[in-house]
Structure 1
């Protein structure tokens, strides 16, 4: 894959992280006013309308049978799990905390690629993965009673997001990104509609709450499109480090709008996660360079 494709993928990743983090902040600001199911439904409905209009104008609405393809079905299921779990976590944890734990996603993707896609992972990267997940534990800091539900939610969102990213690369290249976004938005909307009643029922929405969800839906559309583009155009090992730009947004927004700042142990956990992730990417890039230089597959790094 050439450098221009990687640069394009990296730019998409930076934009996606900014869009998703701002979306998270807006969603967090309305969690007191409605349940997770209603948030998923209202935001998803707005996003679905936007993305369907765009897809139709581009002539990108393909056959809905694509949803039945294993890779697409897995992506949709994983996205639903990730969205549901993460919104639940946002209502119970500071934005910077949830974002920091989410930074273990590249390590989870590497782990998933090794376990399910047959990618070679040497002992150094295995240690880096273990260290990264240790950083997650430092941030969560389970007490004598074990893990809190908020911590379980955010970890579940990491697992779901990793499965989503890995399955995205298995979707046929001729399927338009906007169509993938449309199918995803509709699936999440239907899931939210089904969960409104079990999660406490419908609540009236003041105008300011509706406006925030409208803005969140627009940002979500931007995030959907750019994250799909990032995973399809760039090499995972090159673009994945750019996920960490979301931490800058999360810490700044958390301080300015929610009055939250990382404490000492959270900072330690963040440093471990980021360092582990960057080392993993370094080893992957070095392995790829050896393949090019030697013209054959090297031993596991």
Structure 2
């Protein structure tokens, strides 16, 4: 069940067409997010992460403000002051701050791999918070998918650097944000939610820069990377928000695994990262688990 206006109402499952549309939006959003990560990682090579985050948030805020006005929407709506939107903003800060630091300090492929734990948290949250039906077969597929992520990470004593924990923090924040998106007031459009999400990144980036310091070398290349990441990020954010509001969370979420493939490919092609056997095997396991989850969901809610 979901909470609407202080009352608990029964959850109405999405139709097959809605779930298919949500899945397509999710895959497109994940591809765009991987490109965004590539741009921001490149920008962080010469700019402090706080500056990158601040400029990214400012550009995204302007982008969503323009989109909102083009659709005749207000830039401020009373629903933006609700508890669910405030919680979403806090989780956005946690997710974005942790993950941006992670992609700046660790290989893009490994940070992307850690992020693949997000769907596991979201599916569990959808079942516990929204009472979506997730039977034992889909839970088993989720567990198998998590095992695939573990194959990629190769957990062992001393395997994780401190910087890798930043990706874990980012993953937890993003999972919470996605669940909060589902609970956000329906009167808020995806563009208004995007404006809220990017707006909180401006003071967050400024605070991070003040704490960590570092000279800002504003080269044309660095600014171009931030601009590219911002444009792609707005498109990705729009797709993700729409996906989480169209289909059932437990069905749409597994397609977030596709980000792993995009992230690893860009890490290899752009940053020269090496793809080992464990990453290949783990990626295939994760992808297979996600596809099986969708297949089972379309046949029966078990």
TM-score over 0.5 for the pair: yes
Q: Does 1:73 align with 2:90?
A: no
1-structure distance, mates of 2:86, 2:252: 25
Kindly indicate whether residue 97 of structure 2 is the aligned counterpart of residue 84 of structure 1: yes
Q: Structure 1 unaligned runs (5+)? A: 289-300
- The 3-state SS of whatever aligns with 1:91 is helix
SS in 2 for 1:33: coil
Residue 206 of structure 1, CA deviation: 0.7
Separation in structure 1 between the aligned mates of residue 214 and residue 108 of structure 2, nearest angstrom: 25
Query: Which of 209, 218, 236 is the aligned partner of 1:223?
Result: 236
Q: Shift of residue 134 of structure 1?
A: 3.4
Q: CA deviation at 1:186?
A: 0.5
Matching residue within 59, 65, 68 for 1:55: 68
Equivalent pair of 1:142/1:148 in contact (CA under 8 Å): no
In structure 2, relative to structure 1, the CA distance for the partners of 1:14 and 1:145 (3 Å cut) is: closer
Q: Is the 8 A contact 1:251 1:261 kept in 2?
A: no
Alignment of 1:243-258 (within 5 A): 243-258=256-271
For residue 204 of structure 2, the aligned residue among 174, 191, 212 is 191
- Shift of residue 275 of structure 1? 3.2
Normalising to structure 1: TM-score of the pair? 0.86
Count of aligned pairs between the two proteins: 289
Q: 1:76 to 1:126 in 2, by over 3 A?
A: same
Is the 1:21–1:250 Cα contact (8 Å) retained in structure 2? yes
In 2, the alpha carbon distance for the partners of 1:8 and 1:145 equals: 42
User: Which residue does the alignment assign to 2:226?
Assistant: 213
Q: Deviations over 1:184-237 (max 9, x none)?
A: 111112211121110224512111100110111111111111111111122334
- Normalising to structure 2: TM-score of the pair? 0.86
Moved more, 68-77 or 55-64: 55-64
| 1:31 and 2:41 matched | no
Aligned to 1:171: 184
Q: Does 1:268 align with 2:281?
A: yes
Q: Where does structure 2 lack aligned partners over 5 or more consecutive residues?
A: 1-13
Question: Contact between 2:123 and 2:253, CA under 8 Å: does it hold in 1?
Answer: no
Q: CA RMSD in A?
A: 2.3
Q: Hey, what's the Cα distance between the residues in 2 that align with 1:163 and 1:98?
A: 18
Structure 1 residues 276, 245: closer, same or farther in 2, change over 3 A? closer
CA 268–200 in structure 1, closer or farther in 2 if over 3 Å, else same: same
Q: Is the 8 A contact 1:97 1:266 kept in 2?
A: no
